[in-house]
Structure 1
Amino acid sequence: MDAVLDPAVLARAQGGDETAYEQLVTPHRRELQAHCYRMLGSLHDAEDALQETLLAAWKALTGFQQRSSLRTWLYRIATRVCLRLVERRPRRILTPDYCPSRQASDDLGAPVTEPIWLEPWPDDLAGDVADPETTYVEREGVELAYVAALQHLPGTQRAVLILREVLQLPAAEVASMLDSSVASVNSALQRARAAVAERVPERSQQAEREALGSERERALVTSFVAAWEQADIPALLDLLTEDARFTMPPLPAWFDGRDAVAGFMRERLFATPWRLRPLRLNGQLAFACYQGPDFRLGAVNVLSVRDGQIRAINGFVDPALYPALGLPKVFPG
């Protein structure tokens, strides 16, 4: 949402006042970072893109003539930064796009350390967006399946879909931002919609959670935490759909189907005790998982639900991710 632009602050910023510049861009910082995350699929890459965007905007600020809102102008710069990065960096993916699933859990494979994995996004957009309906749409726009699907699009289609459907900008405005035509934007939007629809579930996680309701969602969280902490595998399996998946990048191994997930749980997962702390990532149910005996942060799990059951446990076990998520290193009790 556009913040009210104070002409005096703008004038000071254009005159080289860095404090005034920070005052201008701070209201937009978080949503710009979320935009970069949707484009790039990585919290770290999004932060790089945000910093490049803010630096470019600072250098170009004297040329800002208010023909558009400051927000639109910043999005134009951020989108172009991301499009350049899309060309230079590998596409971010989820494990099923990397290799086939496994049945045996004796070898989970060596960690794949190249920067190819989709990363989770800390879900605090509600504090930045006043309109609940906008919050709903923007949270749909950071769901794991949606962001993963975006990464399969060419950069321009990716940008058009995000700008039109997540940010809900008019086609003419998007065309201006991309130095394109309205016809080209509409054509790219149609192709992008069709491609993404093939890769995402029929119902978003926001719709699934809304259908579940707060009381049943709390019960699901409570049951999941209790079963995980007690290593109660039958209770955990009762919470999973028949076609449930379990992934754990940067390890390449992943398990497809409740029976395969059950085998992994029995043979590997509960070799040590765990403590869980519920949180929100990507607009979805998630947990910081602390591994015994000293209960240090060992995984971050993002759940996908369907009809009140867990369709996927997307585990992230790269310690390099955790500082950016602001999680305690040791279970807080």
Structure 2
Amino acid sequence: MTSVVSRELDPRLLEHRRELTGYCYRMLGSAFDADDAVQETMVRAWRGLGDFEGRSALRSWLYRIATNVCLDQLSGRQRRALPMDLSGSPWQPVEASLASRRPGTAWVEPILDRQVVADDADPAEQAVQRESIRLAFVAALQHLPPRQRAVLLLREVLRWKADEVAQLLDTTVASVNSALQRARATLSDLGARPEPRQLDDDDQDLLDRYVDAFERYDIDAFVALLHEDATQHMPPYEMWLRGPADIGTWMLGPGSKCRGSRVLPTRANGSLAFAQYRAREGGGREPWALHVLEVDAGRIARISSFLDLDTGLFVRLGLPAELD
């Protein structure tokens, strides 16, 4: 039993857990599927560690296992998406727009930066890691066939050499280069190539003003912080909104129950974010939505509001289950 426990806690495996979670998240588009994939990777590695002879680096071996686990998970699955991927036109800011809803497995899901971004990485590497988990990029990755997805991530995010990727996928360098070229073309058509950027003081000030307006429920001040083409979507609902006017109308109408909420600032998908706790009847506040914000030209350009509802989103992300 002692040997089993020691192997389960082998730091050679556990030290790679965070980066493997980031890789599996980009592959699968779900933090929770990524956790499952990494757990399966660790189990398979634990079972094979005694036979691992060091013919390749341990990290490469783990990525080979993780890639195979992800490819297995993706087999036969429909791609995850964001609401704007499903409809080219915005919806009306009315209650009836909530009629269309899809299960959680249909949507790209959020992930907290702390789950995948290394604390000890240099700032430039952290910027790359954050940019490669942005929602738009992760959603675009879901358009790629699984093996193309793996090639692009290994080559362009993790910066592996073509021959290393070929060895991992049991294919040729020519096949890897061809897959990478096709993947790049698809992402270019979607306008989703990542461009690393740093969070600056102006972004933090914008978040502070945004949170202040939201908690006071001053909608005039709130919409003044939005880009003229700002969008908001709210999985698991298919609806999405465009423009400060419609977003403000929604918040004063169907969304008015959010009045009196309190928020917990955080970072998710490489972006500013906050967890919203809505007032509960009888007192206290309950998890309601994780809002991931995208900034453009000093204004909020996209609000991705992932509703907790009955999904247990906050608990699964490690956020507080309630806020007093």
In the superposition, the TM-score normalised over structure 1's length comes to 0.88
Check if 1:47 corresponds to 2:35.
Answer: yes
The superposition leaves residues 11-51 of structure 1 with CA deviations (integer Å, 9 ceiling, x where unpaired) of xx9xx644135222010111111111110001111111112
Do residues 238 (structure 1) and 224 (structure 2) align? Answer: yes
Matched AA of 2:167: S
Q: Give the counterpart letter for 1:57 in structure 2.
A: A
In 1, are the aligned partners of 2:93 and 2:247 still within 8 Å (CA)?
Answer: no
Measured after TM superposition, the shift of residue 260 of structure 1 is: 2.2
**Of 69, 94, 111, which aligns to 1:105?**
94
> How many residues end up aligned between the 2 structures?
313
CA deviations on 1:202-240 (whole Å, 9 max, x unpaired) are: 774x42x44xx22x1221011101111111112111111
Deviation at 1:87, TM superposition (A): 1.1
Q: Given the superposition, is the C-alpha separation of residues 94 and 223 from structure 1 closer, same or farther in structure 2, using an over 3 Å criterion?
A: same
8 Å CA contact 1:164, 1:174 repeated in 2: yes
- Hey, what does 2:55 align to over in structure 1? 67
Choose from 107, 124, 148 the match for 1:157: 148
Asked whether 1:266 is paired with 2:252, we answer: yes
Aligned to 2:154, what secondary structure does the other structure show?
Answer: helix
1:67-216 to structure 2, matched below 5 A, reads: 67-99=55-87, 100-107=89-96, 108-113=98-103, 115-124=105-114, 125-200=116-191, 204=195, 206-207=196-197, 209-210=198-199, 213-214=200-201, 216=202
- Which residue type is aligned with residue 130 of structure 1? A
Q: CA RMSD in A?
A: 2.0
Q: Shift of the alpha carbon at 1:280?
A: 0.5
Kept in 2: contact 1:30–1:128 (CA 8 A): no
SS at match of 1:88: coil
Partner of 2:263: 276
Pairwise CA distance, 1:138: 1.5
Does residue 323 of structure 1 match 2:315?
Answer: yes
CA contact (8 A) 1:36 1:78 kept: yes
C-alpha contact (below 8 Å) 1:301/1:314 kept by paired residues: yes
TM-score, length-scaled by structure 2: 0.90
Q: Which sits farther off after the overlay, 97-106 or 69-78?
A: 97-106
Q: CA deviation at 1:276?
A: 1.4
Kept after mapping to 2: 8 A contact 1:288/1:301: yes
The corresponding residue for 1:227 is 213
Picking from 225, 248, 254, the partner of 2:234 is 248
Query: What stretches of structure 1 of length at least 5 have no aligned partner?
Result: 1-12
Provide the secondary structure at the position in 1 that maps to 2:302: strand
Structure 1 residues 240 and 202 mapped into 2: Cα distance closer, same or farther (>3 Å)? farther
Counterpart residue number, 2:290: 300
SS at match of 1:198: helix
Aligned 8 A contact 2:132 2:194 in 1: no
Contact 1:304 1:313 in 2 (8 A): yes
TM-superposed deviation, 1:69: 0.8
What is the match of residue 35 of structure 1? Answer: 23
What letter corresponds to residue 180 of structure 2 in structure 1?
L
Q: 2:92 is paired with a residue of what secondary structure?
A: coil
Deviation at 1:114, TM superposition (A): 5.0
